[in-house]
Amino acid sequence: MTRPSAGGRIEVICGCMYSGKTEELIRRMRQVMIARQPCRVFTPRLDTRYSAQHVASHAGARLEAIPVSSIKEVLASADDLQVAAIDELHFLEDAPDVILAGCQALADRGLRVIVAGLDQDYRADPFPGMMQLMAVAEQVDKLYAICVRCGAYATRSQRLIDGRPAPADAPTLVVGGLDLYEARCRSCYEPAR
User: Active-site residue numbers?
Assistant: 88
Burial 9-45 (b: 16+ CB within 10 A, else e): bbbbbbbbbbbbbbbbbbebbeebeeeeeebbbbbbe
Contact residue for ligand ADP among 22, 43, 120, 155 (CB under 6 A)? 22
Contact assessment for residue 3 and residue 107, using Cβ atoms and an 8 Å cutoff? no
Q: Shortest approach of Zn ion to residue 154 CB, angstroms?
A: 7
Contact residue for ligand ADP among 145, 158, 185, 189 (CB under 6 A)? 145
Does 18 sit near ligand ADP (CB under 6 A)?
yes
- In the sheet that holds 139-143, the strands lie side by side as 66-68, 39-44, 83-86, 112-118, 9-15, 139-143
Residues that bind Zn ion (CB under 5 A): 147, 149-150, 152, 185, 188
Query: How many Cα atoms within 13 Å fall on the side-chain side of residue 69?
Result: 0
Residue 153 forms beta bridges with which residues? Answer: 146
Q: Shortest approach of ligand ADP to residue 58 CB, angstroms?
A: 3
Does 127 sit near ligand ADP (CB under 6 A)?
no
Contact assessment for residue 120 and residue 156, using Cβ atoms and an 8 Å cutoff? yes
**49 versus 193: smaller Cβ distance to ligand ADP:** 49
Per-residue string for binding with ligand ADP, 38-77, x by CB under 6 A? -------------------xxx------------------
Q: What does the binding site for ligand ADP look like in residue numbers (CB under 6 A)? A: 15, 17-23, 57-59, 145-146, 148, 183
